[in-house]
Structure 1
Amino acid sequence: MQYKCIRCGRILEKSLGTNEIECECGSRVFLKERPNVEKEVNSR
């Protein structure tokens, strides 16, 4: 999974076995990078 640091904008990778990640700038707050895909939702 890829995450983007809020402070410096650096893209970081996180493997499934890792609980915590920290950017080189010291930040621990990240945005999860998601693909720009349009989803269709159907009502029941």
Structure 2
Amino acid sequence: MYKCIRCGRPLRESYGTAEIECECGSRVFVKSRPPIEKEVIAR
């Protein structure tokens, strides 16, 4: 699930096209990720 970085609306278009634009005019989207903490062990 992707959402607009400016207004936060979810993406309603298909993936893989260069012409994707939000209703607010933004063309930058971020992928929503679940709030899971990850532990990284340094070597």
Give the TM-score normalised by structure 2: 0.60
In structure 2, what is the Cα distance between the partners aligned to 1:38 and 1:6? 22
User: What number of residue pairs does the alignment pair up?
Assistant: 41
Task: Report the structure, 1 or 2, having the larger strand content.
Answer: 1
**Pair 1:12-2:3 in alignment:** no
Question: Matched residues, percent identical?
Answer: 66
Residue in structure 1 matched with residue 22 of structure 2 by the alignment? 23
Gaps of 5+ in 2: none
**Pair 1:41-2:40 in alignment:** yes
Gaps of 5+ in 1: none
* Alpha-carbon distance, 1:36 to partner: 0.7
Computed over aligned residues only, the root mean square deviation of the Cα atoms, in angstroms, reads 2.0
